[in-house]
Chains A and B, each alone.
Chain A
Amino acid sequence: MEFKVRACRFNPEVDKKPYYKEYTIEDYPGMTVLNALIKVKSELDGTLSFRRSCRSAICGSCAMKINGISKLACKTQVGPEIEKFGIINVGPLANMPVIRDLIVDQESFFDKIKEIKPYLLGQREDEAYNGFHVLKEGEKISQPVYYKSEFQNLTGNNDTPNCILCECCYSECGGVVGNPGYLGPAALAKLYRYSEDPRDNDKNGSRLVNGSKADGMWDCVHCQACEEFCPKGVSPVKSIVKLHERTIKNSITFSAGSKHVVSIAKSIRKTGRLDEIKVAFDSVGISGLINNLPMILGAGLKGKIPPLRLKLIKDMEDIRLAYKELDLEGK
């Protein structure tokens, strides 16, 4: 069967803006989008540029937009794409500048990975073996031993180490679209992984404090795109939410994001409902509300202001008991 590949072409040194070029090729059973692109490059147009390497969904090189969604070209078969969209549209990943055609500049992505310090900090104080030394006669090399449950902690939520840094999540992330400075899902999932690692000697909680600053974990928009479109089944958003939980439980609550979450929890404990006014006030403070005064007044004039005193839900004591059972009463 013949099908069309419509590829985004762009050479910033020559072209004023990106344009699309169509190629018609013949498929075969099991053909992947990467197979199709290699066929285009070898038989029809050698100038088409894209990254590729392992062809086994391990290296993450061939991530690109396929019919509007960030995917690995080597893991995506042509057949189902044609069935759904009738064509193979390919473009570069989003949220990064294009170097040429389907190749993006990954520098900003990797800068953010580096920013979270993706390595173990310091050494554990209780570690018997401290630093390198010459083995004494008969001494064996000691390896740390971890129980299964502890080992799971080493890797955060089990799935984070499966990340291949392909940037699909980064390309789909709503947070990065809205704020190019945002650390993004892959870096924050790694931050969680290291913050949970018992071998990490982060004495003063710097990982959680730094991660709570502007452009960090609280800028996640919870769009779920990182989980949905990860080709390796990793869920960065779940790691980010666990980071939130860990941060709040460690009383690192200087950020508007953490204040927002704590306020919602308090509001439910008091009324069973979400108190929109109180949550807004607790999150942004009086100055934040003043900044938005025209919008607030406009909404108020139209009757959009929520009630100042909320009616408690029926059987409110059930909710109070949930907080009591979880030892969350005074939090």
Chain B
Amino acid sequence: MDGDEADKIIKGKTMKLEINGEMRELDAEPEMPLLWALRDVLGMTGTKYGCGIAQCGACSVLVDGVVTRSCVTPVGSLEGSKVSTIEAMEEDAVGQKVVAAWVKHQVPQCGYCQSGQVMAAVSLLKENAAPSAEDVRASMQNLCRCGTYNAIHAALSDLAGQENA
């Protein structure tokens, strides 16, 4: 889009956000949800819009290591926080393992929810390196219309070093 035009019509302020280890400046008003700041202002489309009301989890990112629904998180609330997105997961020790397990277990189908699923899994494993099947069930709440739920559990069981989901 036309940068001059955006400057003219967006009456926001310049925000500074740490995204994937890099300080990024963006012109957006504090109310803009992180999801749209990522997708539209920064052009990072790996994080997905599914519902906009924190129901589906396709927009999940990590804020200070904790899974967060970016579609309802205003960018104004994030100054001083560290945001991690799917784009950086292969540079993260846990993220790398999760991505490898997703590929090994052939988890994705259409793939649209999987950025969010990977982020939820990374968050869970950062908090608990060996989650039980019950922990997985309690934490992995993102929706998947293709029904990859069993494959997600298989991948997480593998990561947690268990025999079965």
* A and B: interacting chains: no
- A residues near B (Cβ < 8 Å) are none
